């Protein structure tokens, strides 16, 4: 269950990496 991005509203992806939770928006990531 992902939360919507506060910038564009796309569902935010989550991943646990080395014990840390990472959150990112695929739409905003692509825009950079």
The number of distinct structural domains making up the chain is: 1
How would residue 1 be classed by pLDDT, with cut points 50, 70 and 90? low
Cβ neighbour number for residue 25 with a 10 Å cutoff: 20
Percent residues over pLDDT 90 in the chain? 78
22 is in which domain, residue-wise?
A: 1-32
The kind and range of the H/E element at 30 are helix 26-31
Cα angle 22-6-3, degrees, rounded to a multiple of 5: 55
Structure tokens at 26: 């695929």
pLDDT reading at 7 higher than 70: yes
CA dist., res. 10 & res. 4, Å (int): 5
Average pLDDT over residues 10-15: 94
């Amino acid at each position: 269950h992902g939360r919507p991005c506060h910038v564009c509203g796309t569902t935010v992806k989550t991943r646990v990496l080395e014990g840390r939770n990472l959150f990112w928006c695929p739409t905003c990531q692509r825009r950079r």
